[in-house]
Chain A
C-alpha cells in the first residue's frame, strides 16, 4: 500500500503559522543597505532577529584604559586578529579576522576584553570603522 505520512502533516501545517523568522523584513527588500538606513531613520520597521542566549560570543569590546599592554592576548589568538601597537603599548583588534573564540578574554589579566551580543557585523570594507576595535 502506498503510504505518504508527510501528506497529513503538510496539510496541517498549511493552516499553522510559518516557522520562518521574518528577519529583517517579511520579503527581501530591493536593497538591504537602503532598508537598514531607512530603519535607522525611523521610516521602516525591522523584524527583530532571534534573541541570542546569555553568554553569546559576538563582537569584541576593548577597555583601553585598563589594558597594560602585556601582549598575552596575542599569544592565544588563533586568528592573529590582535595587533600590538608599540607606540601606545595598546592593542588593536581586527574584527573581520576575529573568529569569536573569546580566548583573549580568558587570558587577559586585566579583564579588559569582552564579547558582546552584537552579531550583525557584515560589512564590505574589512578596515571600516566598525571592523576595528582599539
Chain B
C-alpha cells in the first residue's frame, strides 16, 4: 500500500518534470518551425527556458484593483491541473501513472480546469481587457467542448461495441488502436474525427486563429494582460504543458503504436525507442495543430469561433460519428 503510494508520488513528480521538459522542448520547436515558415531564423531551442527563467526573476505585479488571492492562485491551479491531466494519459510510451483511477471522461473534465483558472485569473485582475478576454475564454471553452466530446465518445463507443472492457479507460484505448476495429467506411470516419481533434487543439491552447481571448492586437494579451513575473511564467508553462497534454491525447487516441512492438530491439532499448517515437509523434501533432495552423490563418472573431465549432466542426464530427456507426452496423448485419 505504502510502496504503491510512494511509487505514485514519485511517478507524479517524474511525470511533472518530464511534462515541463517536453513542454519547453515543444515550445522551442514551435518557435523555430514557425520562424522558418515565415523565412526568419527564429530563436535558439533553449529560448522558452530562457524566457521562463527571466520571468521568474522579474517582479510579480499585482494590480491595485485585483483580488490578490485569486489573482495569485489562478496560475498555480492552472499549472497543477495541467500536470494532473498528464498523470492520466499515456506519456512517452508509458502507461499513465494513475492508470487505475481515471478515464477519458475525467480527462475531459480536467481539461477545463486550466481554462477555468485562466478565466478566474482574468476576472480577478480587474482590467477591462482581461475581463473581455475572460469572457471570450469562457465562450471558446464552451464552443470547443462539444466537438471534443463527440470525438472521445465515438471512440469509446466503438471500443465498447467491439467488446472491449472498460472502453473509457485510456489504457484500453491505447491497447486497441481504433483503426484496427473499423472497416473502410469507419476509417474515413475516424480520419474525420482525427481532423476534428486537431482543430480543437488550437482553441484549447488559445492559439491563432482561436486566440481571441488573448488577441494581442485588440486586447493586448487579454486575460493575461495584468500578469507578469512568476505568475506569467506559470501560465506560460501551463500553456506548454497543455500542448503536451493535447498532443499526447491525440497520440493516445489515434496513433497508439509503439515502435518497440514493430521493431525488434533489445529489452533495455525498448523504452528509449518508445520515448523517441512518442516525441516524434508529439512534435508532428504539435506542428500540424499548433504551428502550421497558427501561421497560415488570420484570427477569428469570437462569434466566428463559436460558429466554427458549434456548427461546422460539430457537423463534421457528427458525420465522422455516423460513418463509424454505419460501418459498425453494416458489418454486424
Contact = CB atoms under 8 A, between A and B. Distances in A.
Interface of A: 4, 6-7, 10-11, 13-14, 16, 18-20, 22, 26-27
Contacts of B297: 4, 6
Contacts of A27: 43-44
A18 B35 contact: yes
Interface in B292-315: 292, 295-297
A19 B39 CA distance: 5
B296 A19 contact: no
Contacts of B42: 18
Q: How large is the interface on B (under 10, 10 to 19, 20 to 34, 35 or more residues)?
A: 10 to 19
B36 A18 contact: yes
Contacts of A10: 37-38, 292, 295-296
A20 B39 contact: yes
A13 B43 CA distance: 17
A17 B328 CA distance: 49
A52 B306 CA distance: 51
B36 A7 contact: no
B296 A20 contact: no
A76 B39 CA distance: 43
A29 to B, nearest CB: 12
Contacts, number: 37
A14 B295 CA distance: 12
Contacts of B38: 10, 13
The A contact surface, by secondary structure, is loop
The B contact surface, by secondary structure, is loop
6 contacts: A7-B296, A14-B33, A14-B37, A16-B39, A18-B39, A20-B41
Contacts of A4: 296-297
A8 to B, nearest CB: 9
Interface of B: 33, 35-44, 292, 295-297
B323 to A, nearest CB: 21
A72 B104 CA distance: 83
Query: Which 9 pairs across A and B sit closest by C-beta, in order of nearness?
Result: A10-B37, A7-B296, A19-B39, A6-B296, A20-B41, A18-B41, A14-B37, A4-B296, A14-B36
A13 B41 contact: no
A19 B292 contact: no
A18 B33 CA distance: 11
A35 B297 CA distance: 38
Contacts of A26: 41
Contacts of B292: 7, 10-11
Q: Which of B33, B37, B43, B295 has the most CB of A within 10 A?
A: B37
B166 to A, nearest CB: 38
Nearest to B33: A14
B283 to A, nearest CB: 14
Given A4-B296, A6-B296, A11 B37 contact: yes
B29 to A, nearest CB: 12
A12 to B, nearest CB: 9
B311 to A, nearest CB: 14
A14 B305 CA distance: 28
A22 B37 contact: no
